[in-house]
Amino acid sequence: MEVVLLENAIEISRAVSSIIIETVRKKPAAVLGFATGASPVETYKRLIEAYEKGLVSFRDVTTFNLDEYCGLPREDKNSYYYFMKENLFSKAGFDFSKVNFLSGDPEEGESCCEEYGKKIAAAGGIDIQLLGVGTNGHIGFNEPSDSFSDGPFKVRLAESTINSNSKYFTERPMPAYAFTMGVGDIMRAKKILLIATGESKAKAVYSMVKDPVTPHCPASILRNHPDATIFIDRESAKLL
Ligand code: GLP
């Protein structure tokens, strides 16, 4: 695992977006794994800017998002589908027929999980997986547990995740369950880029980089990946 320390979130977004843009320019039909949350938002802005300037086309790119809340339809403002549509897909010329998402439907969602894993494999695997990290070390919605997951599954969210994310739910309570790609799906990506900024991530960053690899800090497994880079700022690097 490579650790890149940069001054702030803007510098990180420049570095991460350049890697994505370069990859897509070399391979226009690249498969990109995207993440939600505050961490990738600046990077998405840089991708939109590059698209607007005609520096890159995402038209042939296939995407797989990491996770979705259970019980939120796509049109719900809190769904991750809505988030991606607003923050990237509709503004950077993505082809929605190549956008893949886990279903948030409580019934359909579980049966879609297996299919989602197969779809990733059929697309040739993920070229770049973008990640954030939870304050408890989660990646996607893989919460700390006694073992690492493999394929996509339904997860009960940790108390700390509900505490961190419920600020976004102003009109309804935050769902207690979600569907997520498994740790195995993430680890099968050819390249992984993780963004962690701000003091609230300092503990997770320390565990990820320094503690032994353990499913109690799911992000620590990235140390076993041959091409994973974590981008941190001064605040999230504070405990290192
Ligand atoms: C969320 C998402 C993750 C995200 C993480 C950090 O719960 N499921 O994919 O990386 O938590 O979020 P943020 O970037 O807002 O700190």
Residue 158: predicted pLDDT: 94
37 lines ligand 1 (CB under 6 A): yes
The predicted structure's pLDDT at residue 11 = 98
Does the structure show a pLDDT above 90 at 109? no
Query: Please, is 128 exposed, middle or buried when counting C-beta atoms within 10 Å of its C-beta (0-12, 13-18, 19+)?
Result: buried
Chain centroid to Cα 206, Å, comes to 19
CB-ligand 1 contact for 149 (6 Å cutoff) = no
Burial of 154 from C-beta contacts in 10 A (0-12 / 13-18 / 19+): middle
Enzyme catalytic residues? 67, 136, 138, 143
Supply the pLDDT for residue 53. 98
How does the average pLDDT of the chain come out, rounded?
97
pLDDT bracket for residue 101 (50, 70, 90): very high
Nearest to 146 by CA among 201, 195, 109, 183: 183
pLDDT over 90 at 209, yes or no: yes
**Stronger pLDDT, 131 or 172, i.e. the higher one:** 131
**Distance (Å, whole) CA 240 – CA 234:** 10
Q: How far is the centre of ligand 1, averaged over its atoms, from the C-alpha of 165 (Å)?
A: 8
CB-ligand 1 contact for 202 (6 Å cutoff)? no
What is the pLDDT confidence band of residue 124, given thresholds at 50, 70 and 90?
A: very high
**What are 47-85's pLDDT values in tens digits?**
999 999 999 999 999 999 999 999 999 999 999 999 999
Distance CA 188, CA 33 (A): 11
Residue 43, SS3 per DSSP: helix
Q: Relative to the CA of 140, which ligand 1 atom is closest? A: 9
Per DSSP bridges, beta strands 228-232 and 191-196 are parallel
- 67-69: strand order across its sheet: 67-69, 177-180, 153-156
pLDDT at residue 159 tops 90: yes
CA of 218 to the centre of ligand 1 (A): 13
Q: How far apart are CA 133 and CA 125, in angstroms?
A: 22
Q: How confident is the model at residue 40 (pLDDT cuts 50, 70, 90)?
A: very high
Cα separation, 104 vs 66, in Å, equals 12
Q: Is the pLDDT of residue 216 over 90?
A: yes
108 pLDDT higher than 90 = no
Query: Looking at residues 124-130, what average pLDDT do you find?
Result: 98
Q: What is the pTM of this model?
A: 0.97
Does position 111 have pLDDT exceeding 90, yes or no? no
Query: Could you identify the atom of ligand 1 that is nearest to the CA of residue 40?
Result: 14
Q: What is the pLDDT of residue 107?
A: 86
Q: Which of 36, 195, 201 to mutate to test the pocket of ligand 1 (most atoms within 8 A of CB)?
A: 36
Whether the CB-CB separation of 160 and 223 falls below 8 Å is answered with no
Q: What is the pLDDT of residue 32?
A: 98
With a 6 Å cutoff on the Cβ, whether 166 touches ligand 1 is no
Whether pLDDT at 110 is above 90: no
